[in-house]
A and B are shown apart, each in its own frame.
Chain A
Amino acid sequence: MKKRIIVVGNGMVGYKFCEKLRNRSTTVDIVVYGEEPRPAYDRVHLSSYFSGSTAEDLLMAPAEWYTDNNIVLHTGELVTEINRIDKTIRTHTGRSDKYDYLVLATGSSAFVPAIEGVERHGVFVYRTIEDLVQITEYAKKVKRGAVMGGGLLGLEAAKALLDLGLETHVVEFAPRLMPRQIDDAGSDILAGKLSQLGITIHTGKSTKKIEGNGKLEGLLFADDTKLDIEMLVISAGIRPRDELAKATLLNVHPRGGIVVDDYMRTTDESIFAIGEAAVHNNMVYGLVAPGYDMADIVARQVTGDSSKSFTGFDMSTKLKLIGVDVGSFGDPFCDATPHIPIVFKNKHKGTYKRINISEDGKYLLGGILIGDAGQYNILHQMVMNKMPLPENPETLIVGGGGKANDEAAGVKGLPDTAQICSCENITKGAIVEQVTSCGARTIDDLKKSTKACTGCGGCTPMVNDLLKITLESLGHTVKKTLCEHFNYTRQELYDIIKVKGIKSYDQLLNTHGAGDGCEVCKPAVASLLASIWNDVILKEDTIQDSNDRFLANIQRGGTYSVVPRIAGGEITPQKLSAIGRIAEKYNLYTKITGGQRIDMFGARVDQLPDIWEELIAEGFESGHAYGKSLRTIKSCVGSTWCRYGVQDSVSFAVFVEERYKGLRAPHKLKGAVSGCIRECAEAQSKDFGIIATEKGWNLYVCGNGGARPQHAKLLVADVDTDTCIKYIDRFLMFYIRTADPLTRTATWLNKMEGGLEYLYDVVVNDSLGIGEELERDMAALIANYHCEWKKVVEDPKLRAKFKHFINSEEEDATIQYVDMRGQKAPIDWNK
């Protein structure tokens, strides 16, 4: 008889249980009841919802996954009753279902303290996607918000409010932030860092009353001080969802939670509890990794394997809170253990590091890292594996430099049994084996075969290091060469061209390549040459990509389109008339583009220089619409005219577009400047987007429209104009230097090891020490700017290249047009 297992709750842990159980048995019936309207999603990365992830992106697995794996999922259905004698459950819709084993993965709800006024309009919790949607909506109407609770989740929520453009406060009852992870000294440093970013921290504050008249107006504290705010997000801890267990008389803990034994069994041996709903040894584990471990144990139990039990879990964490590294590992406080603390503090830089050494000086017991958690992984491993300490343990936290190398070396020293991915419990040995015996070659291969890096993502740097050193030990070089003609990566070619002063494609092919080149390496090298020297690209017209060869976009029928630059979308009536006159004269089809300028279509190749000569005479310049280069900086009307605008977005957009015009990059670049949080310029869909705040500008990077839209990520907030430009300079040059050919910034970031965190380190913290160099390179490119079309118009030799036949002045008679809504259009080509 097939066993039927019912899972109550479709959160991260409930989902993981299904996955683990299905892996162990393809035959058991699995039925899941989830109260939320959508399948399980990633709550750990909930705040990424604010920086652009969609509910879809956050899903643990798409709805098809459940069908594909023969799992019945009922969403939006709350289990209200358990009948332990009949072994049935009943849902709020009246559905009844029979189980052999019941798994309670009901999770937790936000703990809302009983404070007067907590029911007021404008008070939220931070728990589900629905909560986030409500917070986002409400935040549009207000300016000042606070988070109650300075724990891990509370600070995440604070980041969310900051991202929503609110003046943000954090109120914590305890005398310090993150009281379960860090000590007072660490909290001071963290608070200092957070206030620099614009978050005001209030610790040791007990809230007496939430004041207001209908809607929320402020908080009144026990010391009779007040804080004026318009919205409040409560993140004061979690409360295990044990009401169902309680009603069916299972043993629950006095402080909440379903009591389980080492096998996650409740007092009814057919019923298990896992995740945040469970209490093991008086502990509720509010992290996902122990939840996954519990899921694994129950998956084993119901398939008859009792070899694994739950013995407590390491609660070490590392995270980036609003751009600040925080790590806490092993026993961070050692309150009850004799130990020797070593503390390193740099108030100016905002770093705090503490390690606790055993009394005999042999082992690391735990520690705290704030501001720079670069050594977290290796220190954590040292604690977990009881690795012997070096002679001078203080070198573990002081004396920086070469942190990546240190860490790679550290990974090498780990035993095979060392746990690398705590979410999925994957050891170093398992990862190495995938590479040595199963052919894994990339981080994606490893993600697929081991699921490492797919949970919290914290192990990604270590897995990367492991992959690299293992591949190297196998004699592989890890490399992405351009094509058969160049055995180099784009980045290597960039350096070669720059260092050796190479000025032409042929020179590079002669010295560093083979064969005759192709349509892959020619435009890639052309782009590199343009990015490095910003020279006249038509000097080498035949290596240019289709559009660059004739400085215009080739269109159906073989005609070209002409797009003059209209910086920021701002144009005078005179210039507008000039475009009209010229388009009429050459019988061009005209259309407004998505980038706030005007595109003229249907120009024959031989007409291009004449058209541009007239445009240039009217004061226009090339718009570089044909290039893998900066296109437009879109703008909204801004504070000049708009009654909502807080900064002059048009002037800034014009300035930015003029600054970077003609800049050649691995792919096209688009930007935008919005004058306020309403974001009319859609800056968050651009490679770099700037949104005005009352204090300055928020800079977003690596957004994308196109086939796979992606919201840009906030790089820095509330910076002044000069700082904003400085970071854009660095960001763009770093992209130009390191991206693969034809890779947009969004994909570049997606593939970047360390992701936004790493990019932030390079651009803002200048972790590679190349900040000034990047700025200098950019300054040189800007100084070298020229209008490509002006050069052509003025040079008879270049101009002569623009004709269809080499041996005749005739036009190409095969070009044919039809009439469409009063303008011309090319005839359709064959499908």
Chain B
Amino acid sequence: MELHNEIKTFTPAAEAEVSIWFKAARVEDFPENGGACVKYKDMQIAVFNFTRRNEWYACQNLCPHKMQMVLSRGMIGSKDGEPKVACPFHKKTFSLKSGECLNAEECNIAVFPVKVEEGYVHIGFTR
């Protein structure tokens, strides 16, 4: 099976445009204050559990800097309150709200809405 390794595959979704809520995994499967990788169709999605804030975020797993499928293994945190993730390879950081790269000239990443229902984490996609 071919998993797409192309950045254009990731179409960011605003919550209003969501047509599919994908039931990914149970809340307790995710690490606290950390991330894990979810497989959806042919895409890899990084999902982050901000336990401290009681918030969830999702973005593409691909770091656009060196095209590596690793963002889910990155450290999460905040910059002036904005939730972010740092790529484990070279510490490029991205806002998990806007997808914007915060410390370099890299292109933005796609972010996806997340909701938790009945103990399960759901990620919103447009297709």
Chain A complexes with chain B? yes
Q: Which residues of A contact B (CB under 8 A)?
A: 484-485, 506, 509, 515-519, 521-523, 541-543, 545-546, 549-550, 554, 556-558, 801, 804-808, 810, 812-814, 829-830
Complex alpha-carbon distance, A549 and B38, angstroms:
18
A805 to B43 Cα, complex, angstroms: 11
**Partner pick for A506 among B33, B37, B44, B68, CB 8 A cutoff:** B33
- Contact status A806-B36, CB under 8 Å: yes
Please report the C-alpha to C-alpha distance between residue A479 and residue B69 in the assembled complex, in whole angstroms. 39
B66 touching A814, Cβ below 8 Å: no
Q: In this complex, which of A485, A506, A804, A830 has the most chain B Cβ atoms within 10 angstroms of its Cβ? A: A804
Offer 17 A-B interface pairs, CB within 8 angstroms, sorted by A.
A506-B52, A515-B78, A519-B86, A519-B93, A522-B77, A541-B34, A546-B74, A554-B89, A558-B69, A804-B37, A805-B37, A805-B39, A806-B36, A813-B2, A813-B3, A814-B69, A829-B67
Q: A516-B77, A523-B75, A830-B66 are in contact. Are A814 and B24 (CB under 8 A)?
A: no
Cβ of B28 to closest chain A Cβ, rounded Å: 11
Residues of B within 8 A of A813 (CB): 1-3
Is B5 a contact partner of A805 (Cβ separation < 8 A)?
no
A814 touches B5 (CB 8 A): yes
* B76-A516 in contact (CB<8A): yes
Judging by beta carbons under 8 Å apart, are B39 and A517 in contact? no
Known: A549-B88, A813-B1, A830-B66. A519 touches B32 (CB 8 A): no
Asked whether A518 lies within 8 Å of B78 as measured between CB atoms, the reply is: yes
Chain B's closest residue to A542 (CB) is B34
Q: Which residues of B contact A506 (CB under 8 A)?
A: 33, 52
Once A522-B77, A542-B33, A807-B24 are accepted as A-B contacts, the answer to whether A516 and B3 lie under 8 Å apart by CB is no
A554 touches B70 (CB 8 A): yes
Chain B residues near A519 (CB, 8 Å)?
74-75, 77, 86, 91, 93
A515 touches B81 (CB 8 A): yes
B73 CB to nearest A CB, Å:
6
Residues of chain A with a CB closer than 8 A to B44's CB:
805, 812, 814
A517 to B84, CA, bound (A): 10
Chain A residue at minimum C-beta to C-beta distance from B70: A558
Residues of chain A with a CB closer than 8 A to B37's CB: 804-806
**Smallest CB gap from A800: residue in B:** B29
- Quick check: B73 and A518 within 8 Å, CB to CB? no
Task: Find A557's partner among B24, B68, B76, B93 (CB 8 Å cutoff).
Answer: B68
Max count, chain A CB within 10 A of own CB: residue among B2, B31, B70, B88 = B88
- Mask: chain B, 1-19; 1 = CB below 8 Å from A; 0 = not: 1110100000000000000
Q: Which residues of A contact B29 (CB under 8 A)?
A: 806-807
Which A-chain residue is minimally distant from B62 (CB atoms)? A814
Please name all residues of chain B whose beta carbon is closer than 8 Å to the beta carbon of A485 when the two chains form the complex: 77-78
Given A518-B77, A519-B75, A829:B31 Cβ within 8 A: no
Q: A518-B75, A801-B31 are in contact. Are A808 and B39 (CB under 8 A)?
A: yes
CA distance A556 to B53 in the complex (A): 33
Q: Determine the residue in chain A with the shortest Cβ distance to B86.
A: A519
Q: A521 contacts which chain B residues (CB < 8 A)? A: 77
Q: Within the complex, what minimum Cβ distance (angstroms) separates A199 from chain B?
A: 50
Chain B residues positioned under 8 Å from A484 (CB to CB): 79-80
Q: Is B30 an interface residue (CB 8 A)?
A: yes
Which B residues are CB-close (under 8 A) to A549?
73, 88
| A558 near B68: Cβ-Cβ < 8 Å | yes
Given A546-B88, A558-B70, A814-B69, residue A807 in contact with residue B38 (CB < 8 A): yes
B25 partner, pick from A546, A554, A806, A812, beta carbons under 8 A:
A806
Q: When the two chains form their complex, are residues A542 and B76 in contact, meaning their CB atoms are under 8 A apart?
A: yes
Is B5's CB under 8 angstroms from A542's CB? no
Residue from B3, B75, B79, B80 in contact with A542 in the complex, judged by beta carbons closer than 8 Å: B75
Q: Determine whether the beta carbon of A554 is less than 8 Å from that of B88.
A: yes
Task: Name the residue among B38, B73, B77, B89 with the largest chain A CB count within 10 angstroms.
Answer: B77
CB distance A830 to B67 under 8 Å? Answer: yes
Check if B21 is an interface residue, CB within 8 A of chain A: no
Closest Cβ of chain A to B42, distance in Å, is 9
Give 12 A-B pairs besides A518-B84, A805-B37 with Cβ atoms closer than 8 angstroms.
Answer: A516-B76, A519-B74, A522-B77, A541-B31, A542-B32, A545-B88, A805-B44, A806-B24, A806-B29, A814-B44, A829-B66, A830-B67
Also in contact, A807 and B25, with CB within 8 A (given A506-B52, A541-B31, A813-B1): yes
In the bound complex, residues from chain A placing their C-beta under 8 Å from that of B2 are 813
* CA–CA, A374 and B66, complex, Å: 54
Assembly CA distance A813 to B83 (angstroms):
29
Per the bound structure, the CA–CA distance linking A808 and B40 in Å amounts to 10
On chain B, the residues within 8 Å of A543 by CB distance are 33, 75
Question: Could you tell me the distance between the alpha carbons of A485 and B93 in the complex, rounded to whole angstroms?
Answer: 16
Complex Cα spacing A807 to B26, Å: 9
- Chain A residues near B68 (CB-CB < 8 A): 556-558, 829
**B41 to chain A: closest CB distance in Å?**
11
Complex Cα spacing A801 to B70, Å: 15
Q: Does A516 contact B83, Cβ atoms closer than 8 Å?
A: yes
**Nearest B residue (CB) for A522:** B75
Note all chain B residues with C-beta closer than 8 A to A554: 70, 73, 88-89
A558 to B75, CA, bound (A): 15
The CA of A33 and the CA of B78, in the complex, are separated in Å by: 60
Query: In the bound complex, how far is the Cα of B81 from the Cα of A684, in angstroms?
Result: 46
For residue A515, which residues in chain B have a CB less than 8 angstroms away from its CB?
Answer: 77-78, 81
Chain A residues within an 8 Å CB radius of B32: 542
User: What residue in chain A is nearest B22 (Cβ atoms)?
Assistant: A807
CA distance A805 to B76 in the complex (A): 18
Across the interface, do A807 and B78 meet the contact criterion of CB distance under 8 Å? no
Give Cα A549 to B76, complex, Å. 13
**A543 CB, nearest partner CB in chain B, Å:** 7
CA distance A102 to B36 in the complex (A): 75
Whether the pair A518, B89 counts as a contact (CB closer than 8 A) is: no
Contact B38 A542, beta carbon cutoff 8 Å = no
Task: Collect the chain B residues with CB atoms within 8 Å of residue A804's CB.
Answer: 37
CB pair B38–A516 under 8 Å, yes or no, is: no
B31 to chain A, nearest CB (A): 5
Of A516, A522, A541, A545, the residue contacting B50 (CB under 8 A) is A516
Contact A516 B53 (CB under 8 A): yes
Cβ–Cβ < 8 Å partners of B33 in chain A: 506, 516, 542-543
B47 to A, closest residue via Cβ: A806
What chain B residues lie within 8 Å of A557 (beta carbons)?
A: 68
Contact yes or no, A806 B38, CB < 8 A: yes
A541 contacts which chain B residues (CB < 8 A)? Answer: 31, 34
Closest chain-B Cβ to A657's Cβ sits at a distance in Å of 28
Tell me whether A517 and B78 are in contact in the complex, defined as CB-CB below 8 angstroms, given that A546-B73, A549-B88, A554-B70 are known contacts.
yes
Give complex CA distance A307, B42 in Å. Answer: 84
Residues of chain A within 8 A (CB-CB) of B81 are 515
CA A518 – CA B73 in complex, angstroms?
Answer: 14
**In the bound complex, CA of A522 to CA of B78 (Å):** 11
User: Could you tell me the distance between the alpha carbons of A518 and B85 in the complex, rounded to whole angstroms?
Assistant: 8
A505: nearest chain-B partner, CB-CB: B33
Could you tell me the distance in whole angstroms from the C-beta of B89 to the nearest C-beta in chain A?
7
**Distance (whole angstroms) from the CB of B8 to the closest CB of chain A:** 15
